[in-house]
Amino acid sequence: MSPQNFKFPKGIPYIIGNEAAERYSFYGMKAIFVVFLTRFITNAAGDLAVFDETDAKFWLHIFIFSTYGLSLAGAFFADVYFGKYKTIISLSIVYCMGHFILALFENQYGFFMGCSLIAIGAGGIKPCVSAHVGDQFNASNSHLLDKMYNWFYFSINAGAVVAYLSAEPLLRSEYLISKGLNSAVAFGLPGVLMVIATFVFWLGRNKFVHIPPAGWSLYSQELFSKKGAQLILKLSPIYIFLAVFWSLFDQTAGAWVLQAQSDLMIKTMNLGFTSITVYPSQLGVMNALFIVMFIPVFAYYVYPQLGKVIKLSYVNKMSIGMVLAALSFALIAWVQAQMDNGVSMNIAWQILAYVVLTAAEIFVSISSLEFSYTQAPKALKSLVLSFWLIAVAVGNLFTALVNLIIKRPDGTLMLDGAAYYWFFTGLMFIAALIFFIMNRNYKEEHHIQELD
């Protein structure tokens, strides 16, 4: 038995630095996606050609679906042909190109071309980065893996905090608008951060543990073996229910932003000693900020205390998180019901919903990320991590289709106002119950990489 090593692998700081910068670039663009489409986008002639709210939500979720859906292709090429490092570096360049196209062309053609390249780049590298983190560990330091994924998630949200705070103020800056540079700066800055992210990752090239690609023969042998088929059948139901969670969660960038833009939403909070005015898209920072604050609290207090009451298996953590996600949407539905009746609501109610949703995310997202890595055999690490990302994609596709279906030919909606949020609240409650019943006896495995 290998002696325990209490030091993080040497390549970890480069992965953390890369992830923080890359997530700034992604969330900086995602934060203003709906605002840009509904307020600023132009046609080829340079005239405003804005989208209505339902169409903007549809395209947001199609973009997220495409980004996370393409993770399957990235995982395949990394596991079979190029390895994770080469895949990440190559697709990061495509990622950078997408950002700079968004910055240079603020019309519909440039926007969708830039988003397409970002989807290819971000989607392709995401499963590789998540698996590459786990590859740095072996039997001697595998006990640090849960802490590492907490820090990995911390870096994601540290980048997101800065992105959410800066993106919309740049897009709405009167000075930049007067110079015709608001879109260029708002989309260009994330591109600069993506270049930095790529450079930081390249600096760590000699520090990383590099797991070579399996090659098609070994990969297909693992994938199509009896054990591989059993693994996929065993995991698939879990990711189906995770998709429902993500169908709710990613609406914070769409439906929640549009709710906050309403004239009935009071955007200034009086704190007694001062007041704060919040841009609608900046609300996303609450999730990222709460993640940064909550992760150490959960790691050192919530989980140890909760573990005294129930077994904190992956399934139990995810079940708790799904219930909390439903409760956060129930609160948003109640807020919308008040607004539907003409009652003004303070944006502080949305912030409270973010507190509940952030707790849900820690229970579901971090747990399922670590779960995905530990359940996968060596040759299929990126593939199984891509299942986690495919769940995000499917959830967003479902939301996009709901927004497409509920729109009648005359522009009215079958699920309007609070009914829209109550629909997703009920869906999540039902999914959480079925998920727990189906998976409560799941037998966990623990596969950690070892270099041959």
* Cβ atoms of 158 and 20 closer than 8 Å: yes
d(CA 18, CA 200): 6
Which conformational region is residue 83 in: left (phi greater than 0), alpha (psi within -120 to 50 degrees), or beta? left
CA distances from 350 to 271, 288, 330, 354 (A): 16, 14, 11, 6
Q: Which fold has domain 12-439?
A: Growth Hormone; Chain: A; (1.20.1250)
Is pTM, for the whole model, over 0.85? no
The contacts of residue 285 (CB under 8 Å, 6+ apart) are 160, 161, 164, 165
Of 115-119, 260-264, 364-368, 426-430, give the lowest mean pLDDT range.
364-368
Of 2-6, 157-161, 337-341, give the lowest mean pLDDT range.
2-6
Number of Cβ within a 10 Å radius of residue 276 = 11
| Statement: residue 59 has pLDDT above 50 | yes
Nearest to 386 by CA among 92, 142, 87: 87
Q: Which residue has the higher pLDDT, 230 or 103?
A: 103
Q: Looking at residue 323, what is its pLDDT?
A: 98
Number of Cβ within a 10 Å radius of residue 45 = 7
Q: Looking at residue 288, what is its pLDDT?
A: 80
Q: What is the mean pLDDT of residues 146-162?
A: 78
Give per-residue pLDDT as tens, 5-32.
Answer: 778 888 888 888 888 888 888 888 888 8
Domain residue spans of the chain: 12-439
Q: Per-residue confidence at 2, pLDDT binned at 50, 70, 90?
A: low
Q: Which residue has the higher pLDDT, 449 or 61?
A: 61
**Backbone torsions φ then ψ of 234, nearest 5 degrees:** -70, -40
Q: Looking at residue 147, what is its pLDDT?
A: 75
Q: Per-residue confidence at 452, pLDDT binned at 50, 70, 90?
A: very low
Q: Per-residue confidence at 3, pLDDT binned at 50, 70, 90?
A: low
* Cβ atoms of 29 and 117 closer than 8 Å: no
Q: Which residue has the higher pLDDT, 4 or 45?
A: 45
Q: What is the mean pLDDT of residues 254-280?
A: 87
Helix (H, G, I), strand (E, B) or coil at 42: strand
